[in-house]
Amino acid sequence: MGRALVASFGFDEKFVVRAIIRHGIGGGDLVVLVTATPTEKTLSAYKYVADIAGKVDARVELYVLGEKVYDFTTLVVEVKKLLLKLAREYDRVTVLLSGGMRVIVLGLYTAVLALPDEVKERVVVELDTEDRGVRVEIPKEIVWLFKTPELGAKKQLLELIVREPRQTVEQLAKRLGKDESTVRRQLQTLAEQKLVKLEGRPVKPQPTPAARILVEDQPSPEHR
């Protein structure tokens, strides 16, 4: 299935080129450069990376976030979708956090932390030091410190709240075919996990940014 290299990208190609050489990126592999709105310098650096990768039969794609970089939650949701897609298609995904806008660097790392545990197994996070170009890998044990919340039977409820916020408990129970008492218990647990805010009278749960990051990568029921 090959390997994928995902890099935060601005207009300095050296970090990505080092990683291509270091990991022996070649035929069947993919390099994804995550950027905001590309400038002329960005496009010039992209062309340079594409030329280098082309010599070893690797593909290079520019993943443009555009205005999404100005909404951190949306940024994280988007790059998490990207990482999940790549993890399904490639044996190994390396995330390079050197270069590019700091908000993209932080967004990529946050997205890694929010990945399901079985996906984290196939993801490596690394950086290059600016002074000597030394590779620094973030130990998997540190990434695993940040466990994604267990949803279990609450997942369907949280997905509904993210898609259609500000419904009453009665409305949520009817939509899910559950007792109101069950929904209230699940909402209390989700609130304790900082995934929903219980606001208003009657209570109309609102999803937190963490809830969006956790479940918004899932297709809605009509697309499953």
Q: How many CB atoms lie within 10 A of CB 184?
A: 14
Q: Which residue is associated with the tokens 């929010």?
A: 114
Helices (H), ranges, 115-154: 117-120, 140-145
The model carries a pTM of: 0.87
pLDDT of residue 145: 84
- Structure-token pair, residue 208: 């937190």
pLDDT, tens digit, 9 for 90 and up, residues 7-60: 999 999 999 999 999 999 999 999 999 999 999 999 999 999 999 999 999 999
Query: How far apart, in whole angstroms, are the C-alpha atoms of residue 20 and residue 99?
Result: 15
pLDDT of residue 130: 77
pLDDT of residue 141: 87
Question: Do 91 and 119 form a contact (C-beta atoms < 8 A)?
Answer: no
Cα-Cα-Cα-Cα dihedral of 92, 58, 40, 75, to 10°? Answer: -20
User: What's the CATH number of domain 152-223, 3.40.50.970, 1.10.10.10, 1.10.3720.10, 2.60.40.10?
Assistant: 1.10.10.10
**If 0-12 CB within 10 Å is exposed, 13-18 middle and 19+ buried, where does residue 33 land?**
buried
pLDDT of residue 50: 97
Predicted confidence (pLDDT) at residue 152 exceeds the cutoff of 50: yes
Query: How far apart, in whole angstroms, are the C-alpha atoms of residue 178 and residue 156?
Result: 11
Predicted confidence (pLDDT) at residue 221 exceeds the cutoff of 60: no
pLDDT of residue 224: 29
Beta strands in 155-207 (DSSP E): 196-197, 206-207
Domain ranges, ordered by start, for the chain: 3-145, 152-223
DSSP secondary-structure letter at 4? E
**Residues 202-219: what's their mean pLDDT?**
85
Among residues 87, 90, 116, the alpha carbon closest in space to that of 3 is found at: 90
pLDDT of residue 144: 84
Q: What percent of the chain has pLDDT over 90?
A: 79
Q: Please say whether the structural domain 3-145 has been given the CATH code 3.40.50.11700.
A: yes
pLDDT of residue 222: 34
pLDDT, tens digit, 9 for 90 and up, residues 86-138: 999 999 999 999 999 999 999 999 999 999 888 998 999 999 887 767 899 99
**Residues 59-87: what's their mean pLDDT?**
96
pLDDT, tens digit, 9 for 90 and up, residues 173-187: 999 999 999 999 999
Q: How many CB atoms lie within 10 A of CB 218?
A: 16
